[in-house]
Structure 1
Amino acid sequence: MNNLETSLQELSSKIDFSGTVMFQNGDGLVETASFGYANRSDRLKNNQETRFGIASGCKLFTAIAICQLVEEERLTFDTRLKDCLDIEFPNFSEEITIHHLLTHTSGIPDYFDEDVMNDFEELWMQSPMYHIRSAQDFLPMFQNEQMKSTPGESVHYNNAGYIVLGLIVEQASGMEFTEYVQKNIFEVAGMSDSGYFSFDALPSNTALGYIDLPEGSWKTNIYSLPVKGGSDGGAYVTVEDMTKLWKALFGRLLLNEEILNKLFTPHAQEDEENYFGYGIWIKKQDQQIYKYHVMGYDPGVSFHSAYYPASQTIAVVCSNKSSGAYDIMKAIEGRL
């Protein structure tokens, strides 16, 4: 048992954590730890190579894709939605820009509005999840709704904005969104085990997502999420591949320095310490950037990953349960 596994053992047992953790310090020393089962029925354990769904954690991939297209001068951050997407949004403001969409300040309606719905599974009563395989499939869920606020006026976390960004990537690149990310992000970063996999065609060593019910039973999340993820969430990664993504970003493999600085700029403030960059959260402490981080939660999925600039440390926590990643992440940060 390594140091990381030993330090997390008690907490992992207490919260019944299921998943895999990777920690890499600034000297390149890597530690990993795995707990629980990727497949409970067959008692297959999670391991370092297990692929996990990361829900909204992959909004960062969407932002990187947009930034690459800006770098290639196919778009700008100030390009208006109406000028870069040939899709009708009859009630949307004409002033919405790509910057607004990236920073959750567009004011457009969300297909999953947490002010109205408590349970993500409620979505699929009207639009069965087995029909949702592309960004286009989400459009009927918000396309004709009214604006929630004026663009740039306020910050409101928004999944639909990232669906729209995915459609912009498709139109600007001429490629299907998931294909674009696979070729221009995963392959470039060396993320050979990551992808947008369909529930009905999962590759080997992919963790099933589990929802624990109050009376002690459980179910998988196969009827709780779209069949295939896309620009607002739902990719699968290994902890090692997510570590490679951070390295590729900071190593300028994916974006040049100017555009990378835009991605990492705190553009919109959510509260006293937390800001939105492009597709990424930024946490400040004492006016300094403490961490750049991403997170994702879905039924049967919890995920946190961060880069800590002061120590050049990377942490990744992937879980195939609805909660647990946050507690493990806090424990890791206690070691820093």
Structure 2
Amino acid sequence: MQSLQDAVAEAADRDRFSGVVRLDRAGATELCAAHGFADRAHGVLNTEETLFATASGTKGLTALTVMSLVERGTLELGTTARSLLGEDLPLIADDVTVEQLLAHRSGIGDYFDEDAIDDVGDHVLPVPVHELATTEQFLPVLDGHETVFRAGERFAYNNGGYVVLALLAERASGVDFPQLVRTLVCEPAGMVDTTFLRSDELPGRAARGYLAADGLRTNVFHLPVLGSGDGGIYSTAADFRAFWDALFSGRIVAPELVAEMVRPRSDWPEESKRYGLGFHLHATNDGVWLEGFDAGVSFASLHQPSTSITYTVISNWSRGAWPIVGLLDARLGT
């Protein structure tokens, strides 16, 4: 049988994968390889140390930031959004709670409804992206979306709910959201390279996000200039290896809170999976993962406790990660 390393290399060439793939098992790295270009215009190659955007992979870090504030008594799972929003976002129902927002069971209207978007590369935000540099600046984008269903009634994936969570975390703590994520999640996890970066001033180690498998068009006009609770943090495959180790050893929040976050709260039959609080869950086994997909970004990072398998596939074009993710799942049984 073809080795996994050879199979990944073959798939990367065939599908024009651009990014990094890393696989660890029982604490040992079995595969770590970079492919493609971080900056196509200047011929800068991706490396294992390249920083990539993670899109909705950020939601897991947002959820942990909120749970850390719950652990500290700054928030409660039963805290209502209204208690901190005041008169802002009046269409959010008064009984929507932090827990419902974490579980995508809030019923609030979504500023970025993925089911209504045919191609993320064509989606345009209703305000200039450079005006979205702080969580408070998202208020005009989050406003004006009618409630879809009663709070707690059912599951519906909701990007806006995680920006609302970032806003609640800021207002409850008095600390800017990027700083909260850094001090409450990244530092205890040992995620030394994980941070929010402005897309219009990326450092040399950061990959530009591309809208197609080839060409020079980037995503700089498609996404908020600085990410928030629903997406946008930059990271590395090595940092996500550190993340899973820290999460399940209780170094970010206590093990009993981790257990609550990876406990299935909803079935998601359309995607053949389940969902907890900020984490995707396998339909039948104990696999837990984060994933992100947006213009110029595709990302998945999975940990399966029963097999001690951890993998991360992170790519700087919109659909780059998925062929490699499919290959890994098929070969590893994850």
Q: TM-score, normalised by structure 1?
A: 0.93
Corresponding residue for 2:16? 16
Secondary structure of residue in 2 paired with 1:62: helix
- Aligned residue in 1 for 2:319: 323
Count of matched residue positions in the alignment of Structure 1 and Structure 2: 329
Is 1:198 the counterpart of 2:198? The answer is yes
**Cα offsets for 1:218-238 (capped at 9, x unmatched):** 411111111111111000001
Q: Is 1:295–1:304's contact at 8 Å kept on the other side of the alignment?
A: yes
Q: Give 3-state SS (helix, strand or coil) of 2:200's partner.
A: helix
CA distance in 1, matches of 2:267, 2:100: 13
My pick for the range that moved more, 125-134 or 230-239, is 125-134
Alignment partner of 1:258 is 2:256: yes
If the length of structure 2 is used for normalisation, what is the TM-score? 0.93
Aligned partners of 1:206, 1:299: CA distance in 2, in Å? 16
Matches within 5 A, 1:1-336: 5-120=5-120, 124=124, 126-212=126-212, 217-271=215-269, 273-285=272-284, 288-289=285-286, 291-336=287-332
Asked if the contact 1:92/1:108 (under 8 Å) is kept, the reply is yes
- Aligned equivalents of 2:267, 2:103: Cα separation in 1: 9
Indicate if the aligned counterparts of 1:317 and 1:328 stay in contact, CA closer than 8 A: yes
**Secondary structure, aligned partner of 2:195:** coil
Contact 1:112 1:123 in 2 (8 A): no
RMSD over aligned CA atoms reads: 1.8
Cα distance, 1:193 vs. partner?
A: 1.2
In structure 2, runs of 5+ residues without a counterpart are: none
What percentage of residue pairs aligned between the two structures are identical?
A: 33
The one-letter code sitting in structure 2 at the alignment partner of 1:237 is S
Q: Note the C-alpha offset of 1:314.
A: 0.5
Measured after TM superposition, the shift of residue 83 of structure 1 is: 2.1
In structure 1, distance between residues paired with 2:298 and 2:53: 8
Unmatched 5+ stretches in structure 1: none
> Could you tell me how far apart the structure 1 residues matched to 2:182 and 2:126 are?
31
Give distance in 2, aligned partners of 1:217 and 1:20: 19
CA distance in 2, matches of 1:329, 1:52: 16
Structure 1 residue 107: deviation in Å?
0.6
Cα distance change of structure 1 residues 128 and 95 upon mapping to structure 2, 3 Å threshold: same
CA distance in 2, matches of 1:62, 1:118: 26
